[in-house]
Amino acid sequence: MQVYPDLPSQLWPVKRESVWDGLHVEATPTGREFRSLSSTYPRRRYELKYGALARVEAERLIEFYDAMGSGFGAFLFRDRDDDRVTLQEVAVTDGVSTTWQLGRAPNNVPKNMLAYSGSMQSGWALSDATRSVVYPSRDTLDACQLTESTSNAQHYLSLQEMAVVPGQEYTFAAKLLPAGRSKIRMSVIDHTAGATVGYADVDLCAGETSLSGVATAAGVEWLAGGMRLGWVTLTLGAATSSVRVRFTLLNASGIGAYTGDGSSGAILADAELYGGRFVGLAQRTHSSVAPQFLAPIFDLAGAPSIYLSDPAGLVLQTSGYTINATGSVVFSSAPAAGKKLLWSGGFYHRARFEDGGDTDQFARTLFRSGTVRIITVKP
């Protein structure tokens, strides 16, 4: 199946809405309703926008539209904001079943792994720095001001270790505000090895970042009241099973070890560490409750990682199962009862063009408004 063209001029995030098919409502003369729904999960309608669409890009889209036969043919669409999961729980094994359909929670909101987030007034260790409670904006009502000492040292705030899955992608993020220092190093440290595996140096004024180690992406977003959201995404090594996170103040030259002035620093709040890439500003949940509803994933992007978890730990399954053509994991023998089945990996959304019709009309709409509408379909 062909993949929808991923073009440089496409604007993100995209507009999307859920579509529930088959809702039928009948009402009695007294106003009592009888409702039925034929859908078991929603489809999704996308409105894709393109800015400064180059002619060669437009031609590629028009050719793809023709190749799909207008709205007839199905294709695979990659939604950059919803194209992978990390440790998504699928089911609890019963000791009998051998097959489960892979899926994702529709909101796909990652869980924050940091037990001490919020104002960061407890649980975080200081080094050559002090902290105090401040109220910088309505966006963050209880933040932590990190103030450097007058020592020639690193001035930082760090959190104790937490378990992670080796080889997986994680994002470290927080709300930040300059308070004399506008540069912050956001680091992830391998707790066992005691070495920094990756970091991003974040410039809160220029909005610039630089990466080191296993860091793959980073950025700065401006929030209300002058606050910024700084983030760094990292792909951990195969030997990294527990990590610590750290905020280090940098001087004007971007150096982490320097003689402080005793008054400069930065304001920090709402720290997050979650599985997967950066997905924008959201209120993460600390809940470990299994999702009540999963949308099935039929079209995988590469081989997924399958895990079984119990109180003794999380174990990657390297054999004893296959993945069929519609995204189901099939074990050769039923796993023991009471284990959580989880998976990590990428996926596509199967879709078609919603506005089926004349190619010339599609081209005119594309050039006039830079808009393409697609809707997901069920296999």
d(CA 180, CA 246): 19
Mean pLDDT of the chain: 88
d(CA 256, CA 248): 7
Residue 24: what pLDDT?
A: 85
Residue recorded with tokens 């470990």: 288
Contact 235, 169 (CB under 8 A): yes
d(CA 345, CA 87): 9
pLDDT of 139 higher than 50:
no
Let me know how long the chain is: 379
Residue 346: what pLDDT?
A: 87
Ramachandran category for residue 311: left, alpha or beta (phi over 0 → left; psi -120 to 50 → alpha): alpha
pTM given for the model:
0.63
Residue 11: what pLDDT?
A: 85
pLDDT band at 135 (very low <50, low <70, confident <90, very high): low
- Better-scored residue on pLDDT, 65 or 113: 65
pLDDT of 340 higher than 50:
yes
d(CA 347, CA 84): 6
Strand partners of residue 196: 189
